[in-house]
Chain A
Amino acid sequence: GAGVSQSPSNKVTEKGKDVELRCDPISGHTALYWYRQRLGQGLEFLIYFQGNSAPDKSGLPSDRFSAERTGESVSTLTIQRTQQEDSAVYLCASSLRGINEQFFGPGTRLTVL
């Protein structure tokens, strides 16, 4: 079956602009995660959605970052007033439930000029 998909694959933007990143999880997966991977570093947790429960936003680095998910489908990660330090690969993952292994999308490479 189809895996996790993300769009766009690459995004170049100017400092101060807003960007929106999209994630389509695997069908039937109730849990969805966003991570950030800076160059040469490990993954940094951003936010977690589980079904209709309140999301775990504990990893969001500032109030410029927000994410939404409608039901158990698509999620969007929005970064407002982008800064150069936001440049990274943003990875989305989904799992059957929160305890299962996560399946990752190919990521969106964000470059803020």
Chain B
Amino acid sequence: AQSVAQPEDQVNVAEGNPLTVKCTYSVSGNPYLFWYVQYPNRGLQFLLKYITGDNLVKGSYGFEAEFNKSQTSFHLKKPSALVSDSALYFCAVRAYGSGNTGKLIFGQGTTLQVKP
């Protein structure tokens, strides 16, 4: 069965410091991996995705994520956090191949709090 784990409910970081939001996954076959961000009272916004190719993926708002197949991880990173990055972040996975639909399996979410 496919699953996603975000081991931290909340991550606190000071503005200007680097941030990491962790994600590990379990899927049969090769994964498609996604990060989404949700601001209060708003829908989810797509940040970035890994399908194939370079393990380091760059996305919106200066975020990037590193795919590590051996560790089945897809951690979200940003070199210098902004207060405006404070939001709820979701990691999601789907498997590709015959018989697989496009449905995403989401982690429980990690709240990022960036303090001035």
A residues apposed to B, CB below 8 Å: 4, 31, 33, 35, 41-45, 48, 50, 56, 58-59, 91, 93, 95, 97-107
Q: How many whole Å from A50's CB to the nearest CB in chain B?
A: 7
**Residue contact A99 to B32, C-beta cutoff 8 Å:** yes
**Which of A41, A97, A99 has its CB near the most chain B CB atoms (within 10 A)?**
A99
Number of interface residues of B (CB under 8 A): 22
**Which of A43, A59, A103 has its CB near the most chain B CB atoms (within 10 A)?**
A43
**Residue contact A106 to B101, C-beta cutoff 8 Å:** no
Contacts A45-B103, A48-B103, A56-B101 given; does A106 touch B42 at CB 8 Å: yes
| Residues 71 to 116 of chain B near chain A (Cβ within 8 Å) | 90, 92, 96, 101-109
Distance in angstroms between the alpha carbons of A99 and B52 in the assembled complex: 12
Closest 4 CB pairs of A and B: A98-B102, A104-B43, A42-B106, A104-B44
Please tell me if B12 contacts chain A, counting CB pairs below 8 Å.
no
**Residue contact A59 to B103, C-beta cutoff 8 Å:** yes
Q: How many whole Å from A91's CB to the nearest CB in chain B?
A: 6
Distance in angstroms between the alpha carbons of A41 and B38 in the assembled complex: 12
Please name the residue on chain B nearest to A41 by beta carbon: B108
* Across-interface contacts of B34 in A (CB, < 8 A): 101-102
Please name the residue on chain B nearest to A103 by beta carbon: B46
Please tell me if B45 contacts chain A, counting CB pairs below 8 Å.
yes
